Amino acid sequence: MTQPVRITLAQLNLTVGDIQGNLDKILDQLTQLRGKTDLILLPELSLVGYPPEDLLYRGSLPARVDAALDTLRQAAGDICVVVGHPRWQNGLCYNSASAFYQGQCLLTYDKQALPNYGVFDERRYFIPGQQPGVFEFKGRRVGVSICEDIWQPESAADLKAAGAQIILNLNASPFHLGKQNERTDCLIARAKETGLPIFYCNMVGGQDELVFDGGSQVVNGNGECLLHGPVFEQASLQTTWHPHSIEIHCDSYDELSEEAMAWKALVLAVRDYVGKNGFPGVLIGLSGGIDSALTLCIAVDALGADRVEAVMMPFKYTSEMSRTDAAEQANWLGVKYSSVSIEPIYEQFMNGLSSAFAGLDADTTEENLQARIRGTLLMSLSNKTGKMVLATSNKSEVAVGYSTLYGDMVGGFTAIKDIPKTMVYRLSEYRNSINAEMGGEVGKAIPQRVITRPPSAELAPGQVDQDSLPDYEILDQLIDLYVDQDMGVEDIIAKGYDAAVVQRIARLVDRNEYKRRQAAPGAKITSRAFGRERRYPITSGYSRS
């Protein structure tokens, strides 16, 4: 009689290049689950993290990976460990998965579908496998696929044809809003096509611009989703695969709101970028505006108030409201707070430039100088303390270049780089609602008038953002169409938008690519982020139509 198989999905937070650290996490799982499970399914490329990028070219890497695999093979014992790793053969590299059990390797499978779109460039590094991966375990035929394989009907069909009775799918699937539902729809489709249950294990953690959300799933052969794992946290999800059913031994998590998903992603991205890169904390230029206020809350939730420092750098155009609100927020959140006036430094700069500027009218040069002084002060404090500067530009500003190169763009990471301005407001209200749920006062985490006042860089008297930009509701719609959807200018105008506004915004997006190339990385949240996902030439004569 066929025995039940206890299967654990171990969605772990792994670090690119930290082979020993990743191995230790896997070995710790083995220790904790000994006697409690028969099989552990791990994420894609578990041993080296994802994406390893050009680390795969390092000559010392294959030997380190092989040594770690040998350690894992010997340590597996009575637990079958299905682990992702790179594999080299005859000078070629494969994205692979191996199954170890009782000192033996039951299977080594090479990923067949190599994604080469969006944030993925696997064909730069890997050779596609040619054979489906199936192995025998406790009288069952177990099929193995890796991430993109499950999105291709042929891969699942090949496993079915090879006699697989179940599909184990290892993943390093990056997050963007709506991705959870896309994955579920895919798994349901493959299950219904093949009649096979699918156990889907995804990675967790921040890796530069990417955030991995976990959310591992189990779908039965009828296409019913039995388990949604937690998002943005490590978990060992225990199940039992019976001959004709699947038993779930852990909680299934409800779908979260878009704001909650985005918030968790941003917090994890900042926590892991700061922590995995060894920074003791962060510095934020706190202006009294909504972008820096939101960034401060993200940093505090990610790192704790004791690792966050806020610096107000007022000028003669800085309103008393901004000064008051910045101090109030910093004090309420419990972060270290200081104020350093840039006015005397600005005057010294202007005195030094007086002969060069003689006869020339004041323009944005003087405004940008204020931002660059602030950037210099922040970077000086960063050098002195070791804390990383967390930049505060949002996606709307990044898109059209509404920021100062070497000024407010300075920093090691930009938390809200992929958050449109309209979502900045939504997330600010959401963070205040969390505060209320925890028994705090609404409008304290982010003072309410910071949210309701007209946005302004306060670089000139009476300045507001809408002096230079269309209303953010319109701007964000245009950015979505032109950037996220790659729609042409004429097609956007045909949707009813003002032609002059569309042409101007498209021109700003195109001409500010040089700024984005020099900007700090930031967490990918939307379906099309600037950075590794959208790579446009700086110098181009291509028409925008």
- With a cut of 70, say whether residue 358 has pLDDT above it: yes
Active-site position among 93, 147, 186, 201: 147
Whether residues 238 and 282 share a domain: the answer is no
Indicate if the alpha-carbon torsion angle 136, 142, 148, 149 is positive or negative: positive
Asked if residue 456 belongs to a known ligand binding site, the reply is no
Mean pLDDT, rounded, for 231-260: 93
Mean pLDDT, rounded, for 491-499: 94
Given this model, what pLDDT does residue 463 score? 57
Q: Please report whether residue 519 resides in a domain.
A: no
Mean pLDDT, rounded, for 309-338: 92
Q: Give the HSE-up count for residue 220: Cα atoms under 13 Å, Cβ half-sphere.
A: 13
The residue from 255, 281, 314 where one domain ends is: 255
Beta carbons of 52 and 16 less than 8 angstroms apart: yes
Alpha helices in 195-315 (DSSP H): 258-276, 290-303
Q: Please report whether residue 340 resides in a domain.
A: yes
Whether residues 158 and 296 share a domain: the answer is no
Whether residues 247 and 377 share a domain: the answer is no
Task: Report the chain's mean pLDDT, rounded to a whole number.
Answer: 92
Q: Please report whether residue 541 resides in a domain.
A: no
- With a cut of 70, say whether residue 107 has pLDDT above it: yes
Given this model, what pLDDT does residue 74 score? 96
pLDDT digits (tens, 9 = 90+) for 257-281: 999 999 999 999 999 999 999 999 9
- With a cut of 60, say whether residue 41 has pLDDT above it: yes
Whether residues 13 and 82 share a domain: the answer is yes
| DSSP label at residue 278 | T
Chain Cα centroid distance, residue 34: 33
Q: In what order do the strands lie in the sheet with 5-11?
A: 104-110, 92-101, 80-89, 39-41, 5-11, 235-241, 246-248
Whether residues 286 and 223 share a domain: the answer is no
Where residue 311 falls (left for φ over 0; alpha for ψ -120 to 50; beta otherwise) is beta
- With a cut of 70, say whether residue 480 has pLDDT above it: yes
Given this model, what pLDDT does residue 252 score? 86
Whether residues 283 and 302 share a domain: the answer is yes
Beta carbons of 511 and 521 less than 8 angstroms apart: no
Q: Please report whether residue 516 resides in a domain.
A: no
- DSSP helix/strand/coil, 98: strand
Q: Please report whether residue 483 resides in a domain.
A: no
The residue from 255, 286, 302 where one domain ends is: 255
Whether residues 104 and 153 share a domain: the answer is yes
Whether residues 170 and 236 share a domain: the answer is yes
- In the residue annotation, 264 being an active-site residue is answered as no
Q: Please report whether residue 494 resides in a domain.
A: no
Given this model, what pLDDT does residue 456 score? 63
Domain that holds residue 44: 5-255
Given this model, what pLDDT does residue 440 score? 62
- In the residue annotation, 201 being an active-site residue is answered as no
**Residue 228 sits in a domain of what CATH number?**
3.60.110.10
- Backbone phi, psi, residue 267, to 5°: -65, -45
- With a cut of 60, say whether residue 545 has pLDDT above it: no
Whether residues 121 and 200 share a domain: the answer is yes
- DSSP helix/strand/coil, 72: helix
Given this model, what pLDDT does residue 535 score? 84
Whether residues 434 and 358 share a domain: the answer is yes
Asked if residue 285 belongs to a known ligand binding site, the reply is yes
Given this model, what pLDDT does residue 158 score? 96
- With a cut of 80, say whether residue 380 has pLDDT above it: yes
Residue 459 — pLDDT band, cuts 50, 70, 90? low
Whether residues 281 and 210 share a domain: the answer is no
Instruction: Please report, rounded to a whole number, the percentage of residues in the chain having pLDDT higher than 70.
Output: 95
pLDDT digits (tens, 9 = 90+) for 415-437: 999 999 999 999 999 999 887 66
pLDDT digits (tens, 9 = 90+) for 208-223: 999 999 999 999 999 9
Active-site position among 44, 122, 309, 458: 44
Q: Please report whether residue 511 resides in a domain.
A: no
- With a cut of 60, say whether residue 485 has pLDDT above it: yes
The residue from 440, 463, 486 where one domain ends is: 463
Q: How many domains does the chain have?
A: 2
Given this model, what pLDDT does residue 495 score? 95
Given this model, what pLDDT does residue 272 score? 97
Asked if residue 401 belongs to a known ligand binding site, the reply is no
Q: Please report whether residue 503 resides in a domain.
A: no
- In the residue annotation, 44 being an active-site residue is answered as yes
Asked if residue 173 belongs to a known ligand binding site, the reply is yes
Asked if residue 369 belongs to a known ligand binding site, the reply is no
Asked if residue 368 belongs to a known ligand binding site, the reply is yes
**Residue 408 sits in a domain of what CATH number?**
3.40.50.620
- With a cut of 60, say whether residue 458 has pLDDT above it: no
Active-site position among 25, 80, 93, 111: 111
Asked if residue 397 belongs to a known ligand binding site, the reply is yes
Asked if residue 117 belongs to a known ligand binding site, the reply is yes
Cα→Cα distances 126→112, 117, 387, 406, 515, Å? 10, 14, 37, 38, 32
Burial string for 507-543 (b: 16+ CB within 10 Å, else e) reads ebbbebbebbeebbbbbbbbbbbbbbbeeeeeeeeee
Given this model, what pLDDT does residue 66 score? 96
Whether residues 161 and 222 share a domain: the answer is yes
Cα→Cα distances 373→287, 317, 345, 355, Å? 14, 15, 8, 20
Asked if residue 292 belongs to a known ligand binding site, the reply is yes
Mean pLDDT, rounded, for 134-153: 96
- With a cut of 80, say whether residue 542 has pLDDT above it: no
